[in-house]
Amino acid sequence: MDSRSISARSENMRRIRSRNTLPEMVVRSMVHALGYRFRLHQGNLPGRPDIVFPSRKRVIFVHGCFWHAHRGCARTHVPKTNDAYWVPKLAGNKDRDRRNRRELATSGWRSLVIWECEIQNRGRLIGKLTKFLGPTKGR
Ligand SMILES: [Zn+2]
């Protein structure tokens, strides 16, 4: 097998993985293991946050680096083939994210974005989550 087909294959696997939102499941199980109670995808909140902590009035969005245009991230690259489509599309996603977080803040919800690339550093991610969520109750 030549190196080109190997890299094409790993690129393909990465796409499949992100479609199954593995990052979201990783963050969810981490939050659970840390002892926090949460709900999923509350439709009545702006942007339908991925993980909702009603008693703490906090929400977490788990964002794919490509779809949400993570600034300066290696996983964010606009496909060259059709950038007239992708550039405004990804910019639109980012604007919508910003608007949703502003709306949440206006109604007293604090929000945190976890980027797909951040799940690789488990220790740092745990630190970020506990700092945002505060101490767990009953432990
Ligand atoms: Zn990223």
SS (H, E, C) the chain: CCHHHHHHHHHHHHHHHHHCCHHHHHHHHHHHHCCCCCEECCCCCCCCCCEEEHHHCEEEEEECCCCCCCCCCCCCCCCHHHHHHHHHHHHHHHHHHHHHHHHHHHCCCEEEEEEHHHHHCHHHHHHHHHHHHCCCCCC
Instruction: Tell me how far the alpha carbon of residue 139 lies from the centroid of ligand 1, in angstroms.
Output: 33
pLDDT value of residue 7: 56
Q: Which two tokens stand for residue 91?
A: 């910019």
**Is residue 16 predicted with pLDDT exceeding 50?**
no
C-alpha neighbours within 13 Å on the C-beta side of residue 39? 13
The band of 42, judged by pLDDT with boundaries at 50, 70 and 90, is confident
Task: Decide which of 107 and 5 is more confident.
Answer: 107
Instruction: Tell me how far the alpha carbon of residue 28 lies from the centroid of ligand 1, in angstroms.
Output: 18
Instruction: Tell me how far the alpha carbon of residue 138 lies from the centroid of ligand 1, in angstroms.
Output: 34
Maximum Cα–Cα distance across the chain: 56
Q: Considering the chain, what percentage of its residues have pLDDT values greater than 90?
A: 57
* Identity at 13, one-letter amino acid code: M
**Is residue 23 predicted with pLDDT exceeding 50?**
yes
Across the range 74-98, mean pLDDT stands at 85
10, 116, 129: which is closest to 70 by C-alpha? 116
Q: Considering the chain, what percentage of its residues have pLDDT values greater than 70?
A: 83
The band of 80, judged by pLDDT with boundaries at 50, 70 and 90, is confident
pTM (whole model) above 0.85:
no
Instruction: Tell me how far the alpha carbon of residue 116 lies from the centroid of ligand 1, in angstroms.
Output: 6
Q: What's the mean pLDDT when you consider all of the chain?
A: 84
User: 18-27, 55-64, 87-96: which range is least confident on average?
Assistant: 18-27
pLDDT value of residue 133: 97
CA 95 to chain centre: 15
Instruction: Tell me how far the alpha carbon of residue 123 lies from the centroid of ligand 1, in angstroms.
Output: 17
Give the span between the Cα atoms of 43 and 133, in whole angstroms: 21
Instruction: Tell me how far the alpha carbon of residue 65 lies from the centroid of ligand 1, in angstroms.
Output: 4
**Is residue 107 predicted with pLDDT exceeding 90?**
yes
